[in-house]
């Protein structure tokens, strides 16, 4: 509960309708999309302008009260769980498209804007905003920026960071900064825009963003290839790239996922396949047809058991069903679904999938893997039950080993979900002690009193890394 004085000050800025601290509001802002995390805030505020955000931050920093910025709360790293209480700042009222600049091909938007709505609007103008996180129908642009969301198109088109070229943000002390602009080139000082993208609400509250738009592809083709040999699938991925082809999507499902998906969607998939690749290419018709022909040859040369190319959008949708149902099928298997995003260089995909399978077997937990093979971003997904403490411990141990394996293979603990609370004990494994010191120094120069999303990114203690020596 906030002190009466703070409540009064916040209400005078926001009006009583947009300040809430009743039990219902607190409970419904105590969680996000991350399993097994919950912590109640002291209040929830709904600002409507940058000016209000600035005034709120001035009050909160004067009283040293933590603040957590929140879009729709769909992240998977505990990024918006108010673990130290304080105020949750919901950005939904700041949801306008401020400008679409057709001369510069940019959009200027507020952070609470829904990603899907934005993407649909942009497409109606004959333009394209490629980042497509799976949660885009509910996520906000602000949340995507805070977490640097990826998606299926990451391989060819990049992720959120590649499309944010300017920001307005409010610092912990209430000061407003503007970074970048409608500029494709800008080297005036440190790149604060890129620094804020993916900073998980720990450096500033983002209040406006300028986004880069691109012309949309004119033509698209979808295909699917099945393999009895995981390495054949993995080599296909590398070979496609070696052939100087960057597909728009290049997804993989492992055997465990194939079994679950088939059982759920009754697709009649052959269950003896070790991997399925789903490949899409877009661009000009001629180039797409040429690429698909080459990819088909690559698949065959790597002994794909079956290769299907969609002749129509309807057929393409059918081929995509397996990938689209992966999450749903896994989520229905057991009550709790823990979806991680360990990422490796794409040449190491097969090694990583085999490591994951070995680790799952060792700890006797159920982990299925699917994900973005083209950019090495895998989603090992544990299906378990939060009520079974002993099993959850084994899942935790397994994931710890999976993170370790990813780093050993030259990868990272998180490709697109963010560090948040879930992966903070492992961050040092990736960035090293010196890296941690630099990050901490950056954090304290932005937010000296540690009020912005405290308890995230930096763990109290780094997990001791046990490097497994094998072979």
Report the interface residues with other proteins, using CB under 8 A.
Answer: 22-25, 27-35, 38, 40, 72-74, 90, 92-93, 114, 116, 135, 137-138, 327-328, 331-332, 335-337, 385-387
Query: Are the CB atoms for 167 and 211 separated by under 8 Å?
Result: no
Q: In the complex, what is the shortest distance from the CB of residue 265 to other proteins, in angstroms, rounded to a whole number?
A: 13
Q: In the complex, what is the shortest distance from the CB of residue 114 to other proteins, in angstroms, rounded to a whole number?
A: 8
Q: In the complex, what is the shortest distance from the CB of residue 137 to other proteins, in angstroms, rounded to a whole number?
A: 5
Q: In the complex, what is the shortest distance from the CB of residue 143 to other proteins, in angstroms, rounded to a whole number?
A: 10
Give the three-state DSSP class for 251: strand
Of 38 and 243, CB closest to other proteins: 38
Buried b (16+ CB within 10 A) or exposed e, 233-245: bbbbbbbbbeeeb
Of 61 and 414, CB closest to other proteins: 414
CA distances to 16, 191, 341, 361, 384 from 336, rounded to whole Å, are 38, 40, 17, 19, 5
Q: How many CB atoms lie within 10 A of CB 143?
A: 29
Q: How many whole angstroms separate alpha carbon 102 and alpha carbon 86?
A: 41
Of 15 and 335, CB closest to other proteins: 335
Beta-bridge mates of residue 167: 179, 209
Of 105 and 138, CB closest to other proteins: 138
Q: In the complex, what is the shortest distance from the CB of residue 393 to other proteins, in angstroms, rounded to a whole number?
A: 18
Q: H helices of 302-426, where?
A: 313-331, 349-362, 389-408
Helix (H) or strand (E) holding 167: strand 164-170
Of 108 and 135, CB closest to other proteins: 135
Beta-bridge mates of residue 326: none
Nearest Cα residue to 222 out of 149, 293, 320 = 320
Q: In the complex, what is the shortest distance from the CB of residue 37 to other proteins, in angstroms, rounded to a whole number?
A: 9
Tokens of 22: 């009743």
Q: How many whole angstroms separate alpha carbon 202 and alpha carbon 457?
A: 8
Q: In the complex, what is the shortest distance from the CB of residue 42 to other proteins, in angstroms, rounded to a whole number?
A: 14
Of 32 and 42, CB closest to other proteins: 32
Query: Are the CB atoms for 400 and 465 separated by under 8 Å?
Result: no
Q: How many whole angstroms separate alpha carbon 418 and alpha carbon 407?
A: 16
Q: How many whole angstroms separate alpha carbon 112 and alpha carbon 71?
A: 6
Of 106 and 336, CB closest to other proteins: 336
Q: How many whole angstroms separate alpha carbon 445 and alpha carbon 307?
A: 54
Between the CA atoms of 171, 172, 173 and 177, what dihedral angle is there, to the nearest 10 degrees? Answer: 0
Q: In the complex, what is the shortest distance from the CB of residue 328 to other proteins, in angstroms, rounded to a whole number?
A: 4
Tokens of 372: 């973005």
Of 241 and 333, CB closest to other proteins: 333
Of 92 and 212, CB closest to other proteins: 92
Q: In the complex, what is the shortest distance from the CB of residue 258 to other proteins, in angstroms, rounded to a whole number?
A: 18
How do strand 67-70 and strand 87-90 relate by DSSP bridges? Answer: parallel
Of 134 and 202, CB closest to other proteins: 134
Q: How many whole angstroms separate alpha carbon 212 and alpha carbon 196?
A: 16
Q: In the complex, what is the shortest distance from the CB of residue 20 to other proteins, in angstroms, rounded to a whole number?
A: 9
Q: In the complex, what is the shortest distance from the CB of residue 24 to other proteins, in angstroms, rounded to a whole number?
A: 5
Of 33 and 232, CB closest to other proteins: 33
Q: How many CB atoms lie within 10 A of CB 375?
A: 25
Query: Are the CB atoms for 147 and 136 separated by under 8 Å?
Result: no
Residues 6+ apart with CB under 8 A from 69: 80, 89, 91, 111, 142, 146, 201, 205, 206, 452, 453
Of 90 and 299, CB closest to other proteins: 90
Q: In the complex, what is the shortest distance from the CB of residue 166 to other proteins, in angstroms, rounded to a whole number?
A: 26
């Amino acid at each position: 509960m906030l002190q009466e004085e703070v409540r009064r000050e916040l209400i005078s800025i926001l009006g009583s309708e947009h300040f809430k601290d009743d039990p219902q509001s607190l409970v419904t802002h105590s969680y996000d999309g991350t399993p097994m995390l919950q912590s109640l805030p002291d209040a929830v505020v709904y600002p409507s302008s940058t000016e209000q955000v600035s005034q709120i931050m001035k009050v909160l920093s004067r009283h040293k009260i933590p603040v957590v910025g929140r879009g729709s709360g769909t992240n998977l790293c505990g990024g918006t769980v108010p673990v130290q209480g304080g105020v949750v700042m919901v950005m939904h009222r700041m949801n306008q498209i401020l400008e679409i600049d057709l001369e510069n091909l940019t959009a200027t938007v507020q952070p609470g804007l829904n990603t899907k709505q934005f993407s649909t609007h942009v497409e109606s103008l004959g333009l394209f905003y490629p980042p497509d996180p799976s949660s885009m129908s509910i996520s906000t642009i602000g949340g995507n920026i805070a977490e640097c969301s990826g998606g299926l198109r990451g391989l060819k088109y990049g992720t959120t960071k590649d499309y944010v070229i300017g920001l307005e943000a409010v610092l912990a002390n209430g000061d407003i900064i503007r970074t970048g602009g409608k500029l494709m080139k800008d080297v005036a000082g440190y790149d604060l825009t890129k620094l804020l993208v993916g900073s998980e609400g720990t450096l500033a509250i983002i209040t406006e963003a300028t986004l880069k738009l691109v012309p949309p592809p004119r033509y698209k083709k979808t295909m699917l290839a099945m393999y009895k040999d995981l390495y054949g699938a993995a080599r296909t991925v590398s070979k496609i790239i070696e052939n100087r082809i960057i597909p728009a999507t290049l997804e993989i499902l492992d055997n465990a996922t194939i079994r679950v998906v088939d059982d759920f969607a009754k697709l009649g998939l052959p269950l003896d396949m070790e991997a399925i690749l789903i490949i899409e290419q877009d661009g000009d018709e001629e180039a797409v047809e040429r690429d698909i022909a080459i990819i088909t040859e690559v698949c065959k040369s790597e002994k794909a058991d079956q290769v299907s190319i969609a002749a129509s959008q309807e057929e393409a949708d059918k081929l995509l069903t397996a990938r689209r149902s992966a999450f749903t099928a896994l989520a229905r298997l057991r009550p709790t679904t823990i979806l991680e995003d360990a990422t490796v260089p794409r040449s190491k995909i097969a090694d990583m999938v085999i490591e994951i399978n070995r680790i799952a077997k060792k700890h006797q937990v159920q982990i299925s893997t699917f994900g973005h093979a083209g950019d090495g971003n895998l989603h090992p997904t544990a299906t378990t039950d939060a009520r079974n403490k002993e099993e959850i411990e084994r899942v935790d141990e397994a994931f710890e080993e999976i993170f370790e394996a990813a780093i050993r293979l030259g990868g990272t603990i998180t490709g697109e979900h963010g560090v948040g609370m879930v992966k903070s004990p492992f961050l040092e494994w990736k960035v090293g002690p010196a890296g941690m010191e630099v990050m901490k120094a950056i954090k304290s120069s932005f937010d000296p009193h540690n009020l912005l999303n405290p308890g995230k990114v930096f763990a109290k203690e780094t997990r001791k890394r046990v490097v497994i020596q094998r072979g």
